[in-house]
Amino acid sequence: MNDLVRQHTALSDSDLEWLHLLVSEWQLLSDLSFADLVLWVPTLDGTRYVSVAQMRPNTGPTSYQDDMVGHLVPRGRRPLLDAALDEGRIVREGDPEWREEVPVRVESIPVRREGRVLGVIARNTNLLTVRTPSRLELTYLQSASDLAQMIAAGTFPFPGEQVDMDSSPRAGDGLVRLDAEGIVQYASPNALSAYHRLGLAADLVGQHLGQITAELAPSRGPVDEALVTLASGYAPREFEVEGNGGVIQLRAIPLKPKGTRIGSLVLLRDVTELRRRERELITKDATIREIHHRVKNNLQTVAALLRLQARRMDSDRGREALNEAVRRVGSIAIVHETLSQNLDERVEFDEIADRVIAMVAEISPGRVTCRRNGRFGILDAEVATPLSMVLTEVLQNALEHAFAPGDEGAVEVTAVRGEPRPDARLLITVKDDGRGLPEGFDPQRAGNLGLQIVRTLVEGELGGSFDMLPGSGRGTKVVLDIPVQPQK
């Protein structure tokens, strides 16, 4: 719609926002009218109309099999559009049109904003299945007529009351028509069933909806005045009411076809099962986070015990082996700590990488600095856990073997998201400027435990590749190429 309006019309951005607000609401008008809606806007030169939006009803057959958006028609071809635009009134004159042997009643509703008519809604009703209307259908049509008059007067939709139509109740979910005093004139079967779910034993018709709703909901006092006002439809609001184990979602729409409120339309939907599932998901998420938190605590306890044992070791090799185990356990604990703070099983790995780098840098034998370039981005937990261990082993290996005590140097970790998609693969390079690889060293066959862990995790669990090469000039470069998605 933005492109069509800006290309063909002289409407301002604020006018366009009003049309967007209208289109976000007009599914209700379409359903209550049992009719298709097409929004026509006059072109910049005033000689044609361009259709910028279309809506089909959920409550009846469509009048248009084709998509009308983008069509241009000259002035004069559709007299009802001309009359509605020029005179600023709803036009219903004329005989039904015949489209592919289907009679269609056409009406035109001017769209007004701040005293100006921006365009015209063509309301097209398929008359092929017309029959004697029921009480529900009569209520729908009367409510649609009131809304159409409000659109023509510029009082609907309500400014500042943007509604999420994906989650908001619709006409078919349940509808209650109130008079100016808030008394129920009509309640659809679905609406009555929803109130029965709250514990209502009687009929709704003739009852004051606000008072009945406040009585059915848990109250903080004799009467919840705010709830009474909301359910009486005095202002456009959307809210939920819970009682007797049931939850219903309500949306109140004041009806002011001639400027004065004559009543209200209340749409409602039983969302009891939906809210129950949401609570179960919240409980599940909390349980998962608690599990990660406890795993982190247990791993930190294990690391503390290993550290304590290392201090009591007389053998330097045994002490160093335990310290390596402490760092391996610590890298996994960092991942679980991050997961305990998230709502899903995905983590921002840059923070984990920085903490792993800082943890391993503590063993630096000399004045060696470690830094990170690039971004790892968001990774699944199945990738983050083994990758944190791999990064720990590679950094630990570089700091232990590339530099002698007292040496100055640097270790640089670079992460790049690779092809064929930016999120498909992750290329990690760990480069140092130390003494380099021993002559004849083969990283694929080396018996070092750390390198065995790296090979097993990268090639076996992550489904990637690992290589260790001489650096350009001096030092060593480790290259890890892994898919972002874990191997199943």
- Average pLDDT of the chain to the nearest whole number: 87
Look at residue 138 in the predicted model and tell me its pLDDT.
Answer: 94
Look at residue 486 in the predicted model and tell me its pLDDT.
Answer: 44
Residues in the chain: 488
Q: How confident is the model at residue 162 (pLDDT cuts 50, 70, 90)?
A: low
Asked if pLDDT for residue 27 goes beyond 90, the answer is yes
Percent of the chain exceeding pLDDT 90 equals 47
| Highest mean pLDDT of the ranges 214-223, 260-269, 367-376, 464-473 | 260-269
Q: How confident is the model at residue 343 (pLDDT cuts 50, 70, 90)?
A: low
Asked if pLDDT for residue 363 goes beyond 80, the answer is no
Alpha-carbon span 353 to 355, nearest angstrom: 5
Asked if pLDDT for residue 487 goes beyond 50, the answer is no
Look at residue 224 in the predicted model and tell me its pLDDT.
Answer: 62
Alpha-carbon span 247 to 250, nearest angstrom: 10
Asked if residues 93 and 103 have their Cβ atoms less than 8 Å apart, the reply is no
Asked if residues 250 and 187 have their Cβ atoms less than 8 Å apart, the reply is no
Nearest to 484, CA basis, from 456, 466, 464: 464
Asked if pLDDT for residue 26 goes beyond 90, the answer is yes
Question: What global pTM score does this model have?
Answer: 0.66
Asked if pLDDT for residue 184 goes beyond 90, the answer is yes
Name 372's Cβ contacts closer than 8 Å, sequence gap at least 6: 350, 353, 354, 357, 412, 413, 414, 415
Alpha-carbon span 94 to 83, nearest angstrom: 12
Name 382's Cβ contacts closer than 8 Å, sequence gap at least 6: 345, 486
Residues 127, 133, 135, 139, CA torsion sign:
positive
Percent of the chain exceeding pLDDT 70 equals 94
The torsion angles phi and psi of 3, rounded to 5 degrees, stand at: -65, -45
Asked if pLDDT for residue 181 goes beyond 90, the answer is yes
Asked if pLDDT for residue 447 goes beyond 70, the answer is no
Alpha-carbon span 408 to 366, nearest angstrom: 6
What token pair was written down for 294?
């406890």
C-alpha distance across the termini of the chain, in Å: 43
Name 285's Cβ contacts closer than 8 Å, sequence gap at least 6: 343
CB-based burial label for 369 (10 Å; 0-12, 13-18, 19+): exposed
What is the side-by-side order of every strand in the sheet holding 465-470? 367-374, 408-418, 425-432, 476-483, 465-470
